[in-house]
């Protein structure tokens, strides 16, 4: 989560200075578009199975197993 315009609105209720690392998520003005793209949308798929592999999923039918 990125929080902008903290100079006008103040920090978010969950803001803790001691948990902000080298790159805090609060911005005094508008959040730069480059930061939004990099920090929120710069992920790659991990190649997992689309139906998931958690403990509560149903087994895939035999014809779908590899």
- Residue that wins the pLDDT comparison between 12 and 44: 12
The domain ranges of the chain are 1-14+25-41
pLDDT at 21: 87
d(CA 42, CA 53): 23
pLDDT at 44: 80
Sign, CA torsion 2/27/31/38: negative
- Residue that wins the pLDDT comparison between 62 and 33: 33
Region 34-56: mean pLDDT is 76
| Residue-wise pLDDT tens digits, 6-40 | 999 999 999 998 988 899 999 999 999 999 999 99
The Cα angle at residue 15 between residues 24 and 36, in degrees rounded to 5: 40
d(CA 2, CA 32): 10
pLDDT at 42: 86
CB 11 within 8 A of CB 26: yes
């Amino acid at each position: 989560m990125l929080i902008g315009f903290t100079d006008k609105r103040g920090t978010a209720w969950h803001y803790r200075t001691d948990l902000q690392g080298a790159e805090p998520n609060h911005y005094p003005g508008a959040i730069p578009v480059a930061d939004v793209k990099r920090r929120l949308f710069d992920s790659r798929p991990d190649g997992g199975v689309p139906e998931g592999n958690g403990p509560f999923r149903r087994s895939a039918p035999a014809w779908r197993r590899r």
